[in-house]
Each structure stands twice: as structure tokens, then as C-alpha cells.
A and B are shown apart, each in its own frame.
Chain A
């Protein structure tokens, strides 16, 4: 088994104004593996995952210390353009955020900004990514309709398709299934397992079974700290920390 490390965080502290949202977090994200981040609401999972594609710098009045690496590149160093990082690290957000454009344009936009110009290959890739995200059958006859007319769950799958269409190396999923029904959830989980071949995946989830089903590694966050991190199997069968155990068995206060 390849033990290559794709991304790595070292001593990360993060502040919103004066409130500290992350405390001294270290983590290793293994290449071509699924890493799940779990923890109660407000513990900093979204904040943490958004550091991997430099999204948090869009939030005013925040500060970051520590290092985050993509391969061996320190992604926050001054000479690095965040655009280059985001071309390599894609993201599906917690809340569906389709563009107020047609379904087709939602997907093709990412391709165009990444330099794909040929109409045929755009069309092919739009179709392929919609299929992968398990939404093709529902939208194939209305690709020119506004994406805002889709239901919440459909919008989320569209956002997943949009992210898949551009070729990245890492995909960050922030609770991708929060607004999905069990059938689409199952399809997305299947997709994630399949994507592992080509991508490195980080997924935030509130669903313990989901973490257990799809992930190879799991990290447990509590109040901005990474309490425990390890192989999913170990975390779920033999957690080292009492708090982890309490959380995954549902005995959390």
C-alpha cells in the first residue's frame, strides 16, 4: 500500500477575530485515501477543511499560524497564488451554492476558467461529471434550465458534478450529503469510493456510519482540537480517547 502523504497540516492555529477556532492541529492526509473528519457542530471542521484550499482568507479579520503542505509545497507561502492551489484542491461546500446560471453553464464554467475551450469536449465532460454525481438522469432534458430551480439535494449533486468536472488532485467534501435522501447519499458514497483511485479525499460528516463506510482514516475534532486521528478501523473499534469513544457511540453530552 502506498503510504504517500498528499497534504499535511502542522501546528495550525486559526482565529476569527480574537476567537480561536483551531488549536494546534497536526494531521496527515494520505494520498488516494478517504479521510473523514468528525465532531460535534461548531468544533471547527469546516474551518479546518477550508484551510486546505485557502478559502478562509476570504473571511475578513482572520489569522492563521502553522504550516499546511500540498505535496511539498507550503500553500500559504507568499509567492504561492491561491488560484493555483484551488486548481489542484477542489471543494464541495456544506450548503449547496449553484451559480444563478443554467445547469449546463454551472458545470462548463469551471472548465472554461481552467482553459478548456473546445465545445465538444466541454459537452462531453459536463455529461460525464453529471453522470458521476448521479444527477444526469434528472437533468439531461433540461440542461438549459436555471440551476436555482433544482431541489436542494439536486443542487448539491450539481455542485459535486461541478467540482468533479475540473481535474483536481484533492477534493474536500464538507458534509456533501447533509441535504440528500438515502438513495443519493448511497450513490455519493459509492462515488467517493470510486474517486479514491484518482483523487485524495477529505470529507466532513456528521454521520458515523458514513465515516465508517467510506473512510480509511478518521480525525475527531472537539472545540477546535484534533483529539484523535488514525485508521478508521482503529478509531471506531478501539478509540484511545474517552471523548472519542463517547462521541462515536452517541453518548456525547
Chain B
């Protein structure tokens, strides 16, 4: 517990000290200039937001629907166990494999090209197991007694799930969303072949545009280019922003969850 906190603190401190130096209004709002050594990283910030948002928009409804089906509707037994195990295994698949899958399926097969859409879908699939399993847990934690109360009033099963069970499970579902945002925003490998561009002159125009994204930008700054030392400083700046984004999105979600808790006891 304390070791975890210690290392978390260390990361934040380390990235903070090195990253904060390059952070400026210009860094946050300008596009990169002079082979990435000047200007800002705004397109990468925007790109990360788009891709993450897209991934959640895709995986949240699908994941919740899957979990509701598995928990509330599917007959208990062999098949459901198989599905459950598969989902858990999906969570353990290395992310670069998701990247290749995304390349084969979304980029090539569906012809979405290297784009926000392909990247979002790929990351969405990556997030799916997290969302399904946390939603399942949240659904199972809803007491049987309030389901019975709802049914006893003449509500149908679906009304009960929609109006009683899902709202009661919302805090748990949000926890899954928080975890997956953290995971999705920071992933590099899955967007490597499906969405990311090393450099773009401006902002993406549509869901079919390539985008810059912070994690990939960090990777690129550290491995390519001709001014390694100046690029390194920018990479730390990017890390700082990424860390800040992930922590603040989590923060917002935690606040929403707390509000829910207070409201619902």
C-alpha cells in the first residue's frame, strides 16, 4: 500500500519536475514547429481526447449491454462460464495484439483506414473486458431484495433492470469507466497502426482522419527525429499532460460517483 503510494508519488514528482519546465500556454495550444523542437503539442492533446472519448462511447454501451445480458438474462451454466473466462482472457491479451487486430479488421477489412475511428474501435475493444467485468460486479452487488420490491409492484424485468438495477449499479459501472479511461488514454501499441500519425499540420477533420496522440507522440519523440535532447524535454512535457489528463478525468469521475453515493445513501 505505502510502496504503491511511494512509487505513484515518485512518478508524479519526477514527471512533474521535468515536464513542468516546458509547459506553457504556447505548448498547450500551438501545433509543433521546426521538426518537433518548437511550438506546442495541441494536436496530440486533442487527438488523445478524441480517441479516448471514441473508445468509451463505443465500449460503454456495448460493455454494459453484454454485462446485463450475462448477469440478468443468459441462462446460468456452461456457456456463460466459457464466455466469462474468455472475457477475462481478453483482458490479458497484450495490447500490441489488439493493434494488429485493429489494423487487420478496422483499417483494412472495414476500410476505415488509419483514422480516429479505427483507433477508437481498437481501444474500445481493449477497454471492453474491463467495462464488462466491472459492470458485472456492480450488477451482482445490487441486492436481490430491491429487485423483488420492483417486481412485486408489477414492474417487468426490463423495467426493473433499467430503472432500479442499473441506477443502483452506476457507481460501480463508473469505476470501470474510470479504470478504462486511464488504460485507454495511455496506450500506444493499439493506435500505432490504427490511428496515430507522427506529425500533422493541423487538427483532425473527421473521424476518418489520422491523429496525433500523446502516448504515441512521446514514443516518436524518443525514438525518431534529429534533436534527441530537445525532443526529450518535450516528451516529458507530453507525459506531464497525459498524466494530468488521466488523473483529472479520473478525478471528475470520482466526484460524480461520490455525488451519486451521497444521493443514493
Interface of B, secondary structure class, is helix
Question: Shortest beta-carbon distance, A97 to chain B, in Å?
Answer: 4
Report Cα–Cα, A213/B164, bound state, in Å: 37
Contact with B along A86-124 (1 / 0, CB 8 A): 110011010101111100000001100110000000000
Q: Number of residue pairs across A and B with beta carbons under 8 Å? A: 78
Q: In the complex, what residues of A have CB within 8 A of residue B143's CB?
A: 97
> Is the CB–CB distance between A97 and B145 below 8 Å?
yes
Report Cα–Cα, A84/B153, bound state, in Å: 10
B9 interface residue per 8 A CB criterion: no
> Is the CB–CB distance between A97 and B265 below 8 Å?
no
A114/B265 contact (C-beta < 8 A), A58-B148, A95-B145, A109-B163 known: no
> Is the CB–CB distance between A83 and B146 below 8 Å?
no
Which listed segment binds A: B61-69, B103-111, B113-121, B154-162? Answer: B154-162
Contact with A along B160-183 (1 / 0, CB 8 A): 000110011000000000000000
B264 interface residue per 8 A CB criterion: yes
Q: In the complex, what residues of B have CB within 8 A of residue A84's CB?
A: 154
In this complex, how many residues of chain A approach chain B with their Cβ under 8 Å: the count is: 30
In this complex, how many residues of chain B approach chain A with their Cβ under 8 Å: the count is: 23
Report Cα–Cα, A97/B148, bound state, in Å: 9
Q: In the complex, what residues of A have CB within 8 A of residue B256's CB?
A: none
B257 interface residue per 8 A CB criterion: no
A100's partner among B144, B152, B167 (CB-CB below 8 A) is B167
A148/B264 contact (C-beta < 8 A), A93-B145, A100-B167, A113-B159 known: yes
Report Cα–Cα, A87/B159, bound state, in Å: 14
In the complex formed, the residue of A with least CB distance to B168 is A100
> Is the CB–CB distance between A55 and B264 below 8 Å?
no
Q: In the complex, what residues of B have CB within 8 A of residue A83's CB?
A: 151, 154-156
Q: In the complex, what residues of B have CB within 8 A of residue A93's CB?
A: 145, 148-149, 152
In the complex formed, the residue of A with least CB distance to B152 is A91
Report Cα–Cα, A149/B143, bound state, in Å: 17
A58/B147 contact (C-beta < 8 A), A90-B152, A113-B159 known: yes
Give B16-53 interface residues, CB cut-off 8 Å to A.
none
> Is the CB–CB distance between A113 and B155 below 8 Å?
yes
A53 interface residue per 8 A CB criterion: yes
Question: Shortest beta-carbon distance, B133 to chain A, in Å?
Answer: 22
A58/B153 contact (C-beta < 8 A), A109-B163, A146-B265 known: no
B150 interface residue per 8 A CB criterion: yes
Question: Shortest beta-carbon distance, A123 to chain B, in Å?
Answer: 18
Report Cα–Cα, A149/B149, bound state, in Å: 18
B263 interface residue per 8 A CB criterion: yes
Report Cα–Cα, A97/B149, bound state, in Å: 7
B205 interface residue per 8 A CB criterion: no
A6 interface residue per 8 A CB criterion: no
Report Cα–Cα, A53/B153, bound state, in Å: 10
Question: Shortest beta-carbon distance, B184 to chain A, in Å?
Answer: 29
Interface core residue of A98, A99, A110 (most chain B CB under 10 Å): A99
Report Cα–Cα, A186/B164, bound state, in Å: 32
B76 interface residue per 8 A CB criterion: yes
Q: In the complex, what residues of B have CB within 8 A of residue A253's CB?
A: none
Q: In the complex, what residues of A have CB within 8 A of residue B168's CB?
A: 99-100
> Is the CB–CB distance between A55 and B154 below 8 Å?
no
A101's partner among B145, B152, B153, B167 (CB-CB below 8 A) is B167
Give A205-222 interface residues, CB cut-off 8 Å to B.
none
> Is the CB–CB distance between A86 and B154 below 8 Å?
yes
> Is the CB–CB distance between B152 and A99 below 8 Å?
no
Give B246-265 interface residues, CB cut-off 8 Å to A.
263-265
Question: Shortest beta-carbon distance, A9 to chain B, in Å?
Answer: 19
Question: Shortest beta-carbon distance, B64 to chain A, in Å?
Answer: 18
Report Cα–Cα, A86/B150, bound state, in Å: 10
7 contacts between A and B (CB under 8 A): A55-B148, A58-B151, A97-B146, A100-B146, A109-B155, A113-B153, A148-B265
User: What residues make up the interface of B, taking CB atoms closer than 8 Å to A?
Assistant: 76, 143-156, 159, 163-164, 167-168, 263-265
What 13 additional pairs, Cβ within 8 angstroms, besides A99-B146, A146-B264, A166-B153? A58-B148, A83-B151, A83-B155, A86-B151, A90-B152, A97-B143, A97-B146, A97-B149, A98-B146, A109-B155, A113-B150, A113-B156, A166-B154
What are the 7 closest A-B residue pairs judged by CB atoms, nearest first? Answer: A148-B265, A87-B154, A100-B264, A110-B153, A97-B145, A113-B155, A91-B152
User: What residues make up the interface of A, taking CB atoms closer than 8 Å to B?
Assistant: 53, 55, 58, 60, 82-84, 86-87, 90-91, 93, 95, 97-101, 109-110, 113-114, 146-149, 159, 162-163, 166
